[in-house]
Amino acid sequence: MDVVETVVAGGRVEDDRVEAKRQWPSDHRRAARQIAGLANAAAGEPILWIVGLDEDEHQVRNPGDVEPSNWWNQVSSRFSDVPPDLTLLRVPMPHGPVAALWMETGRTPYVVTTDGAGGVDREVPWRRGTSLRSAHRSEILRSVIREAETPQLDLIAGWVRVTRSRPRTRDDDLGIDATPGGLEFVFSLTAYVEALEPVRFPQYRWSFEIATSQGTWSLPIDQISGPQTHAGSSSSGRPLYEPAGSIVYIPNSGLHINGSDSITLGGRTLLPDEAGELERAFSRAHRVDVSARFPIALTSRRAGLDAVLRRITRTKMRESPNSRFRYVDERLGEFSYGGGLPYEYRGPVETTEPAKD
């Protein structure tokens, strides 16, 4: 990174949105206040902390024996409501590795808890130059206005199904291609979008993640649409639909948000799992956390959807139409929010008849 090279060469950090730390701060409340102040003053732009960079001695140092994810859990717990969205990277440099904490600040103002002195238990910090203070009224208003201009997404209902997918060899007679083993994720979420002004969500910048206590995995969004109405049938009898609301999906372009309305998004993805890490994580999980991000065109802001889906009793499985074969249940878990239920499950086919001599 250019910032590291500049400091090691004898310079200083000159970007108001970047801060260098010699080591992991041990005062988590103070660190949360510093991050919140930097984030609130960033006007929606990302901020960066570089841990392991000594700006006074102009060198890269060992930042200490700290597990970064545990450190962030301690710091983020000092935020009231939501902290900035964090991406943590270990960056190797010629002078030694540093930890880069890249934080998105699209949900200002960020509020932190205090020690309660003087009867004040919440604060909106603000960074100005090298000083850190409480935000002024005008600064909070500007921050709130920026936030109000960002569409808000609230999950109405949704579900996630995780199933084991066993490797399959190629069968030319049946026209079946070989497929690797792994875990298949199928999800469907319906959310309501509140928008004060028209915005665009470019498709190439969408992201979706699913997490358990064991880790976080990225999944593609394969399907998304606003409200639709039936518009007849194709020549083959397939039903046709057309947009019927304020949100329109344009293939290979993105979502056009022209007002408040509902959207439905979903996907189906197979992730390899040779080491069994995914299976262990999802077979034991009692909940999954889902997170969708939709950056707004021509701005640094992004709309977000975050929700917790709880494990439910497995839904009914499709029954075999005859006794010669049965469907095998390969589900590792089904998770739901707002009463959302997955469609009827039909697993891989297994014959029940003994092999003939």
Can you give the residue ranges of every domain in the chain?
Answer: 2-148, 152-351
Single-letter residue type at 266: G
| Least confident segment among 164-168, 175-179, 185-189 | 175-179
What pLDDT shows up at residue 356?
57
* Confidence at residue 231, expressed as pLDDT on a 0 to 100 scale: 87
Chain-centroid distance of CA 252 in Å reads: 21
Name the pTM for this structure.
Answer: 0.70
List pLDDT tens digits, range 141-157. 888 877 778 899 999 99
Distance CA 266, CA 190 (A): 9
Burial group, residue 41, by CB count within 10 angstroms (0-12, 13-18, 19+): buried
Whole-number pLDDT of residue 27: 96
The confidence score (pLDDT) of residue 177 equals: 65
* 352 pLDDT higher than 90: no
Q: What is the mean pLDDT of the chain?
A: 90
- Please state, in angstroms and rounded to a whole number, the distance separating the CA atoms of residues 109 and 143: 6
Identify the pLDDT of residue 353.
Answer: 67
pLDDT of 174 over the 70 cut: no
Instruction: Choose which CATH entry (3.30.950, 3.60.21, 1.10.287, 3.10.450) describes domain 2-148.
Output: 3.30.950
Residue 286 is given by DSSP the state S
Please report the pLDDT score of residue 338 as a whole number: 95
More confident residue, 247 or 180: 247
pLDDT in tens, 100-137: 999 988 888 999 999 888 889 999 999 998 899 999 99
- What pLDDT shows up at residue 349? 82
Please give the pLDDT value at position 173. 60
pLDDT surpasses 80 at 63: yes
The pLDDT value given to residue 45: 84
Q: Given this model, what pLDDT does residue 2 score?
A: 86
b/e 212-226 (16+ beta carbons within 10 angstroms → b): beeeebebebeebbb
| Residue 345 predicted with pLDDT over 70 | yes
pLDDT band at 350 (very low <50, low <70, confident <90, very high): confident
Predicted confidence band at 265 (pLDDT cuts at 50, 70, 90)? Answer: very high
Q: What is the pLDDT of residue 168?
A: 72
| Residue 118 pLDDT | 84
Give which of 290, 343, 296 is closest to 315, Cα–Cα.
Answer: 343
